[in-house]
Amino acid sequence: MGQAERRLARSGTVGPEGKRPAPGVYRYRGPGTDTLSLPPFSQPEGPTMPGTVTLLGAHCREFRIDYSTHHWQSWEYRAHNGDVTETGGRVWLLWSIGPIDVTYMSHLRCSAGTLAVAARASTGPRWTSRWRGTSSAVKGEMTSAGPYRLEGEDTIVVGGHPVRAAHLRRPSGRRPTRRSVSSA
């Protein structure tokens, strides 16, 4: 949490009052595991995970979550006419395998129209999101795509205050398809 708070302070972001999500560091809790199949290896995530909201301009924000000291992921969002679109993101991982540290960074860009939340969304319809990017771990282009739908609204507690939140779900519990393609 302290590293995330120092990173936010260095960014110099100060947000306008009353806008959600407000710039700051939020505490998330939950367990998880990163796993490599070759060699069989895993590293824990959580249980405390700082999430940082940073302003990138008048209508843009970045959300970054540090799953552990060895793994973080960020997403960039833009608000326009009430819709929130996802524009891109990054994924960083560190694997300490014996005396060797291996790191990689992936950069993703979203296809135009990749909605995170529509201003006038109704429950039930599905949206498809699609990202393309590169990773220092593999040559070529990486694609991630998959459907999701709005289940409705929930109220969650943030900093002791109730906040309305969109409840999104990936249908059938499937994860996004990931594939690398060699560059020609």
What does the pLDDT look like over 99-146, one tens digit per residue? Answer: 889 899 999 998 877 777 777 666 766 777 788 899 898 888 888 787
Tokens matching residue 64: 């970054």
In the three-class reduction of DSSP (H, G, I as helix; E, B as strand; rest coil), residue 5 is classed as helix
For the chain, the structural domain boundaries read 2-181
| Confidence at residue 15, expressed as pLDDT on a 0 to 100 scale | 45
How does the average pLDDT of the chain come out, rounded?
A: 78
Report whether 21 contacts 13 (CB < 8 A). Answer: no
Q: How far apart are CA 158 and CA 161, in angstroms?
A: 5
pLDDT truncated to tens, each residue of the chain (184 aa)?
677 666 656 655 544 434 457 889 988 888 899 888 877 788 999 999 999 999 988 889 999 999 999 999 999 998 888 888 889 999 999 998 888 898 999 999 988 777 777 776 667 667 777 888 998 988 888 887 878 777 888 888 877 788 877 777 765 444 444 333 333 3
In the three-class reduction of DSSP (H, G, I as helix; E, B as strand; rest coil), residue 173 is classed as helix
Quick check: bond before 39 cis, omega within 30? Answer: yes
- The amino acid at residue 151 is E
Cα end-to-end distance, the chain, whole Å: 43
| Confidence at residue 84, expressed as pLDDT on a 0 to 100 scale | 83
pTM attached to this predicted model: 0.73
The HSE-up count of residue 146 (CA atoms within 13 Å, CB side) is: 14
